[in-house]
Structure 1
C-alpha cells in the first residue's frame, strides 16, 4: 500500500477516536407528510414507530404544516407507519437510525380508504407504491447491506425477481429474457444517457453498450426515492422494453453539516451535506469518488488484465419556499479509462490480444433543474429540464515483431440528450387523481466505427432528432377493495419518422387484508441503438449510406397477472405470470437469416434490416420476502421463463438470453452489543445466485482460421446452452456507533468459491482454436467508512 493511502487510513481512524465521548446514544426522526397528488401538507397524520427488535412503539401526529418530530429515538432498525383517514397507510419496514445523523423523511400519501393494503416501501421511498413485483425500491442502505453490490444500484437490481446478471465485469442486466439494451435510465424524471463508467467492460468485441458498464457513476450516497421497474409500466414511462432505472437524489441535512468518508480497495469516497438556507429550508449534498482499483491488481486479483481508473462527482441542491414550491439543481459527471499495453516480449504472447495495445476512454456529464409548484390545494405542476452527454473512444493497435504499432480498429461515439418533462397532477375527486404531461427529448448521436483491414467501415453517421412523448394517466380507487390505473402514451421519433400510440392499464382487487390480485397490460416501444441506425454500406454509386436510418420501433404487448399474500407484518409472498409478445423487430432483409436485434449487446449490426421479426418472452417470477425483524431479513426469488425469437427465416429459436431459470437468495443477520456510550453491530450478509446458462452459437473453426476472425455457424444460432452460472457472495460488517459518528469496517467477497463461470467463446488467432473466456473470479473488497 502506498504511503499516501496509509496516511488517509490513519487520519480516518484518528478522527473516529477524537469524535467519541460518553453520552447516551439517541437520535431523532423528523419529516413532512404531504398529499401525493396535490403536494399539500397533511394535518393530523398518525406516525407510529415500532422497533423491529423489541417491538416497542412510540408515536406522534403531524402538525398543520405537515411536519412531525420524534425525539430521543434509540439506535437501530424500525418500522415506521404513517396513516390518515382517506389515505392509504404508508409503511417503511426497514428504517435505519444511526448515531451519525438524524433521519428526515418527505412522505407522500396516496388517496384511498385506510382498510386498503399498506403502501410498503423498503426505505425512504416517498413516491412509490411498491405493491407489485414490477416495481422494486433501490436504496442507499441496501447497497451498503446486500453482499457484493459494490455500492452500485445496478448490481443491486439482480436481487430482484426476473432480473439476472449478464457478466460479472459489468452491471448489465437481463430482465425476463430481454437484451440489456432494453433498459432505460432516468434521473429526476428525465431520460439520461448511459450513466456508467467503462461501458465496454466485459463485452464480446470490447465496444461500448447501451445501458451498462463496470461501475455506476450515480453515487449511492445521494440516492433518494429510486426504483427499478420491469413488466408493464404505466403511461408515465416510455422508450423502454424491459426495465427502467428511475433514480432520484435525496435532500441534504437541513440542520447541520454532515460528512462521510470511505476508503476501500475500489476507491476513495467523500460526501458532504448540510443546510444552505434555513429560512427557505434549503440543503445541499455532494459526493466525490476516485478509484484505487489498481490496488486489487497489485494484490493479484484478476480484473480483466487492464489498468483501470475512474473518478466521478454527483451533487444535489434543493430549496422549499414558504408557499411550498420546491426547486432543485442536480448533476453528475465522471471520466474513466482502461488501458491494455502488450508485453514488449513476444515470447510471452499467448493469445491474440497479447500482441495489441488497446486504450478506451469514456466521459459522461449530466446536469438539470427541477421545480414542483402547487397551483391549488388539489394540484401541482412539475417541470424538469436535464442535459446529459456521453463520449467514448476506443483505439486498438497490432504490434509487429519489432513492436511497431499498426492501426487495428478505431471507435468513437457521442450521445447527447436534452430533455424537458412537464407534468400536471391533480385530484379530480377524493379517490381519483389525474396526471397529464409531455416528455420532449432532443437527441444527438454521432458514431464512427472502423476495423482495419478485415471489415473496413462498420458504422458512420450522426444527426439530431426529437423524441416527443405526451402522456395521460388516471388512477382511481372504487369502494374499499378495487383500484385501477389507466393511461395512454404517444411516441414520435423524428429521425426514423416512427410513431406509436400506447395504451396502458392495471387493475387491482384487494380480496381481504392478506390477499390481493392484479392484472397489468401495456403496449411498449423502443428506439434502435445508434450502431443500428448508422450502419454504413456502399450504394450502387460507391457512396456510403445508412440504410437502417428509417427503421421503425421495436414494439411489444406486455401482459402481467400477479398475486400478493401477506403472511404477517414482515413476511410476504408475491407471484407474477407474464407474457411479452414482441413484434416489428428489426431482422435481416436477406431471407433465411437468423439475425435479430433481440440478441444484440454491443449494438453494432453488419447488414440492412427491416421491421418484420418477432419474439416471445413468458414465465413466472416468485418472491418470498421477510423484512428486518428480530435482526434477520431475507429475500428469495425464483424465475422460470422462455425467451424465443424469429429471424427472417421464420424459424422460432432460443434468444441469446434464454437461460430458462434463475434463483436468488439475499439475506443476513445482525448481532448487537449495546452500551451507554456506544453500540456495536456485527452483520453477516449472504448472496447466492444460480442462473441457467445463456445461449451461444457454434464457431466455424475452419472459416475462422481462413478469415482470421471469429466466424459463427449462423444457421445454428444459439443452439449451444452454456454451463449454468453460480456465485456466492459474502459481506461481513462491523459497525460502531458513538455519539455523532458511525464507523463501519467491512469486507465484501464476490464469488466466494472462485467458481469459473463462462462469459463467451471466440476464435483466437494466436492459439488457432476456440478459446473460452471466463468471468471474474474471487474479488475481496475491504472498506473503512466513517460518517460524522
Structure 2
C-alpha cells in the first residue's frame, strides 16, 4: 500500500492527457451524421466540436479522468453519457448511434448512460442486455470472459466452475448461439467439442471486443438456430490515428497486442492480439485447476482489419484461431480431476479457426446492405488408454470429430422514414463433417460406432419490420425460416415485440415468438445395428422448437437507479427422446466435454420453463455501482415415458450481487474494489444404484429416479482489487481477483469408484487468486 501511495503522490502534480474519438450514425439506417454537436464538460468549462462529413469526431488533450459527454443534432434524440473513463495509455473510441424523433421539433429527449433499455440491435424488444467492455473487465470472478460476465445477469447461471457453459432460464447450454461480426460461429472456447457451446477457457479476447448484445429469450427474427440465448459479438476497429500497444499476463495467458493505422492520414486500420497459456505457472504454485496433475496448454490469436473506401463501401477482414491440448494420467487416489475417471491416460486436443470478410455498402442515406462471408472449422481429438492391471498402457478408445462450415449472411436495410424500417436477409451454411471413433471390444478388436464424411446445408431467411407509432411506442415484428437439407427439416418462426415508454421512468415491453434449433452435428450420425445392418437411426430428427413469451417492466427509480422485472413462459416441443419408454431427453445434455452417443431418437419429447426475474441496478456514478439480480424458476421435461420431471438444470433459484467502489489517489491513479456473490440452488442428478454398480463393476444410475436428487445449494464469493497508474502515454493496471474467497466446497457431481466400491463426491474449484498485470502504451 505504501508503494501505491508513493506512485500516486509522485504523479499527482503532473497532468497527462488523451483523446476521445469515434463515429456517429443514424440508429436505423446506419448512415453517418455530419454536424453533430459533441460537448465534453471539463470542470466549469465546455469543449465542443462537430462531426465531419463522414460522421467522425475527435477531441484531443483531455486530462486523465472521468467525463460527461453529450451528442446532439436537430430532430434527433440527444445522448448524454456520464462517467466516461479517459486513461493516458490508450485513446478512447466511442461509436454513437442517434435515433430520429418521430415529431420533428427542435427539442430533444435526453438519454443517459443509465438507460439499459437500449440495445445495439434496435430490433430487440425484451430480455436483452448490452455488455460493455468496461463492465466485462470490472466484475470480480469473471476472468474477463463474456460468458462468465453474463452469469451476473438475471436468469443466467453457470453449469460448472471449471467451464463457462451458461444455463439460461433452465435451458441446456447447447441452446446458445454465438455470433461474431454478423456470422454464426462454433463454440469460441479452448477444449471445446462438437455439440457444446462452452469450455474451460474462452478464446474471446476482451481487448479485441467491442460492446455486444446478450439475449435470453424472444429475440428478433435475424437470429436463428438457437433455443436459449444469443451472444452477438462485435470486434472493435484499430486506432486510425496512432499505433498503440498492449501487454498483459494473468489467468488468461501471456498476451501481446498491437493496433494502429496502415498509413498516416488514412482511415484503414488493424488490430491483432496473441495469447499463450499461463496455467502451467498457476499450477506450479499449487492452485487446483480441477485437472488433477495435468496442465492445460493453449494459445490463440484474434485480429480485425478495417478498410473504409470513398465509394465502394466499407470492407473488414476478421478472424480468431486457437489450439489447445492436455494430457491426463489418473489413478484411484486422484480426487482433484473434474474431467476423467481413475486408472486412465488420455490425450485431448482441439483446434478452432474462424476467418471472414464483411462488406457494408450504402446505396443512399436510407438504404444499406451488408454481406459477410466466412469459413470456420473446429476439430476435437480424444485418445484414452487403460492403465489397469500393471500392464503397459492399452488404447481402448479414440475419436476425431471435425466440422468445417462455409457461411454467408446477406441483408438489406431500408429506412423509409423516422417511423418505418425494413430489413430482409438470408443466411446460408454449408456444413462438412468428418466424424470417426473406435472402441476396443471384449475380443480385443476395435469397433467403429461412427465413421461418416459428408456435408449438408442449413438455409435461413428472415424479414424484420420496425414501426414507431410515436417516440414512446415501438413495434418490432419479423419472420424467420430455416431448412436443413440433410433430412428436409423445416421451421417457420413468426416473432413480435412491443415496447411502450409510458414516461421517462416507466417502460412496458412484451415479446413472443417461435424459435427452433437443429440437433448436435454428431447426433445425426450415431450408428446402431438393426437386423444385422448398421443404420443411422437419428438422421431424420427434426428441429427442436420453443414457443417463448416474455412480459417486462422497467422503472427508473432515480436517474441512475433502475428496477427491471420480467416474467416468462417457454413451451419446448419436438425434443429428441428414445423410442422405448425411458426418462431420457436431449434437454439434459450439453454441459460437458462428451458428445451425444444415444441412438433411436425421435422428436416426441416436451419441456417447459417459466419464472420471474428481477434486476436492481445502480449504474456507475459517484464512484460506485451495485447490481442485484434474482431468478425464481421451474424447468421440467417429459421423456418418452411421459413422466414430468425437473431437468438437470432446474436449480429453481439464482441470486447474484455485484458491487464496486473506485477511490482516486490523486489525479493520475486510483484503487478499485469489486465484490461479487452468487447463491443458487444445486444441480439435479440421477442417483447411483450402489448395489447394481458393485455387481456390474461400473457405475449404474437408477433411471427410474432421473434427476430426483438435488445437490446442496451453490455459494461463491469473489473479491477483486485493482490499481491503475497513469504515466505519460502509459497506463498500468495491477489486479488480484480472489475467487471463491471462502473456499466453499460446492458439490460438482458424484461417481462410483470400482476400486473401493464406494460413491465418491467431486467438488468444484476451491479458492484461488488470479493476479493480472496489463500495460497500455
TM-score range, shorter chain: over 0.9
CA distance in 1: counterparts of 2:441 and 2:687, whole angstroms: 25
Aligned to 2:548: 558
Would you say 1:318 and 2:318 are equivalent positions? no
CA distance in 1: counterparts of 2:334 and 2:632, whole angstroms: 45
Aligned to 2:480: 489
CA distance in 1: counterparts of 2:629 and 2:418, whole angstroms: 37
Aligned to 1:570: 560
Gap change, CA 1:428 and 1:650, over 3 Å in 2? same
Would you say 1:478 and 2:469 are equivalent positions? yes
Aligned to 2:187: 194
CA distance in 2: counterparts of 1:76 and 1:710, whole angstroms: 59
Aligned to 1:162: 155
Kept in 2: contact 1:461–1:534 (CA 8 A): yes
Equivalences for residues 54-453 of structure 1 within 5 A: 59-90=48-79, 92-93=81-82, 95-113=84-102, 118=111, 120=113, 127-129=120-122, 134-199=127-192, 210-303=196-289, 304-305=291-292, 306-323=294-311, 325-342=313-330, 353-453=341-441
Aligned to 2:534: 544
Would you say 1:730 and 2:680 are equivalent positions? no
Gap change, CA 1:129 and 1:741, over 3 Å in 2? farther
Q: CA RMSD in A?
A: 2.7
The C-alpha deviation readout for 1:35-94, integer Å capped at 9, x for no partner, is: 23333221333434468xx89865544344322233332323344443434434445455
Kept in 2: contact 1:133–1:574 (CA 8 A): no
CA distance in 2: counterparts of 1:79 and 1:131, whole angstroms: 27
Shift of 1:350: 11
Aligned to 1:10: none
Kept in 2: contact 1:266–1:292 (CA 8 A): yes
CA distance in 1: counterparts of 2:676 and 2:12, whole angstroms: 37
Shift of 1:432: 1.4
Aligned to 1:526: 517
Aligned to 1:586: 576
Gap change, CA 1:257 and 1:326, over 3 Å in 2? same
CA distance in 2: counterparts of 1:550 and 1:481, whole angstroms: 47
CA distance in 2: counterparts of 1:740 and 1:522, whole angstroms: 50
Kept in 1: contact 2:336–2:762 (CA 8 A): no
Give the alignment partner of residue 639 of structure 2, picking from 633, 641, 647: 647
Kept in 2: contact 1:743–1:785 (CA 8 A): yes
Kept in 2: contact 1:525–1:554 (CA 8 A): yes
Gap change, CA 1:298 and 1:612, over 3 Å in 2? same
Kept in 2: contact 1:133–1:575 (CA 8 A): no
Kept in 1: contact 2:119–2:129 (CA 8 A): no
The C-alpha deviation readout for 1:664-684, integer Å capped at 9, x for no partner, is: 111100110224xxx111111
Shift of 1:199: 2.2
CA distance in 2: counterparts of 1:565 and 1:122, whole angstroms: 10
Equivalences for residues 600-639 of structure 1 within 5 A: 600-601=589-590, 602-639=594-631
CA distance in 1: counterparts of 2:491 and 2:146, whole angstroms: 31
SS of equivalent residue, structure 1 residue 638: strand
Shift of 1:324: 7.6
Q: What 5-or-longer segments of structure 1 have no aligned partner?
A: 1-12, 201-207
SS of equivalent residue, structure 1 residue 496: coil
Gap change, CA 1:636 and 1:652, over 3 Å in 2? same
Equivalences for residues 20-59 of structure 1 within 5 A: 23-49=14-40, 59=48
Shift of 1:607: 2.9
TM-score normalised by length of structure 2? 0.92
SS of equivalent residue, structure 2 residue 512: strand
SS of equivalent residue, structure 2 residue 149: helix
Q: Which moved more, 1:127-136 or 1:224-233?
A: 127-136
Gap change, CA 1:129 and 1:735, over 3 Å in 2? farther
Q: What 5-or-longer segments of structure 2 have no aligned partner?
A: none
Kept in 2: contact 1:396–1:407 (CA 8 A): yes
CA distance in 1: counterparts of 2:239 and 2:618, whole angstroms: 30
The C-alpha deviation readout for 1:162-185, integer Å capped at 9, x for no partner, is: 110110110000000000010111
Shift of 1:104: 2.1
Number of aligned pairs? 756
Shift of 1:564: 0.6
Kept in 2: contact 1:498–1:553 (CA 8 A): yes
Gap change, CA 1:50 and 1:442, over 3 Å in 2? farther
CA distance in 1: counterparts of 2:487 and 2:670, whole angstroms: 57
SS of equivalent residue, structure 2 residue 164: coil
Kept in 2: contact 1:21–1:738 (CA 8 A): no
SS of equivalent residue, structure 2 residue 694: helix
SS of equivalent residue, structure 2 residue 522: helix
SS of equivalent residue, structure 2 residue 22: strand
CA distance in 2: counterparts of 1:707 and 1:57, whole angstroms: 78
TM-score normalised by length of structure 1? 0.91
SS of equivalent residue, structure 1 residue 664: strand
CA distance in 1: counterparts of 2:335 and 2:645, whole angstroms: 39
Shift of 1:282: 0.7
Shift of 1:724: 0.7
CA distance in 2: counterparts of 1:590 and 1:107, whole angstroms: 56
CA distance in 1: counterparts of 2:544 and 2:15, whole angstroms: 60
Gap change, CA 1:83 and 1:652, over 3 Å in 2? farther
Gap change, CA 1:403 and 1:132, over 3 Å in 2? farther
The C-alpha deviation readout for 1:345-402, integer Å capped at 9, x for no partner, is: x998999934211110011111000011101121111000111111101111111343
CA distance in 2: counterparts of 1:697 and 1:780, whole angstroms: 34
CA distance in 2: counterparts of 1:348 and 1:167, whole angstroms: 19
SS of equivalent residue, structure 2 residue 283: helix
The C-alpha deviation readout for 1:601-646, integer Å capped at 9, x for no partner, is: 2441323111111110011111111111111012111011000111
SS of equivalent residue, structure 2 residue 199: coil
CA distance in 2: counterparts of 1:30 and 1:474, whole angstroms: 32
Shift of 1:511: 0.6
Gap change, CA 1:57 and 1:751, over 3 Å in 2? farther
Would you say 1:745 and 2:734 are equivalent positions? yes
The C-alpha deviation readout for 1:676-725, integer Å capped at 9, x for no partner, is: xxx11111111111111111111112222233332211111111111111
Kept in 2: contact 1:643–1:658 (CA 8 A): yes
The C-alpha deviation readout for 1:4-33, integer Å capped at 9, x for no partner, is: xxxxxxxxx9xx99x999852222212221
CA distance in 1: counterparts of 2:610 and 2:82, whole angstroms: 32
Shift of 1:568: 2.3
Kept in 1: contact 2:432–2:456 (CA 8 A): yes
Gap change, CA 1:59 and 1:629, over 3 Å in 2? farther
Would you say 1:683 and 2:676 are equivalent positions? no
